[in-house]
Amino acid sequence: MVNREDVHYFGAGPAPLPTPVLESASKVLLNYNNTGIGLTELSHRSSEANAILAHTQSCLRKLLDIPESDGPDGYQILFLQGGGSGEFSAVVYHMVSAWLGKLAKEKQQGLDQEAEKMKLDYLVTGSWSLKASQEAARLVGGEHVNIVTDSRKARSNGKFGTIPKQDDWTPTKHAENVALTYYCDNETVDGVEFPSLPGSGNFPNLVADMSSNFLSRPINIRAHAAIFGGAQKNVGTTGITLAIISNAILPPHASMAEPTLLRKLGLPNGPIVLDWPTISKNNSLYNTLPIFDVWIAGQVMQRLLDQSPADKPPRITAQESESNQKAALLYSALDSHPDTYHVVPDTAVRSRMNLCFRVRGGDEGVEKEFLKKAEAQGLLGLKGHRSVGGMRVSNYNAVPVAAVEKLAAFLVGFAKEVEEK
Judge: domain 48-297, CATH 1.10.4030.10. no
Sign of CA dihedral 173, 249, 316, 88: negative
How is residue 11 annotated by DSSP? -
Mean per-residue pLDDT, 89-94: 98
Mean per-residue pLDDT, 175-197: 98
Q: What is the pLDDT of residue 1?
A: 87
The model carries a pTM of 0.97
Please state, rounded to an integer, the average pLDDT across all residues of the chain.
96
Mean per-residue pLDDT, 165-187: 97
Give percent of the chain with pLDDT exceeding 90.
96
Mean per-residue pLDDT, 207-217: 97
Sign of CA dihedral 42, 44, 49, 55: positive
Other CB atoms closer than 10 Å to residue 214's CB: what's the count?
A: 29
pLDDT digits (tens, 9 = 90+) for 214-258: 999 999 999 999 999 999 999 999 999 999 999 999 999 999 999
Give the residue from 130, 131, 134 showing the smallest Cα distance to 149: 130
Q: Burial code of 189-202, b = ≥16 C-beta within 10 A, e = fewer?
A: bbbbbbeebbbeee
Cα distance between the two ends of the chain: 34
Mean per-residue pLDDT, 81-88: 96
Judge: domain 316-420, CATH 3.40.228.10. no
Q: What is the pLDDT of residue 284?
A: 97
User: Any idea where the domains of the chain sit in the sequence?
Assistant: 48-297, 316-420
Cα–Cα distance measured from residue 246 to residue 76, given in angstroms and rounded to the nearest whole number: 6
Whether the predicted pLDDT of 332 surpasses 80? yes
On whether the CB atoms of residues 270 and 93 are closer than 8 A, the answer is yes
Domains 48-297 and 316-420 share a fold: no
Give percent of the chain with pLDDT exceeding 70.
100
Cα–Cα distance measured from residue 408 to residue 421, given in angstroms and rounded to the nearest whole number: 21
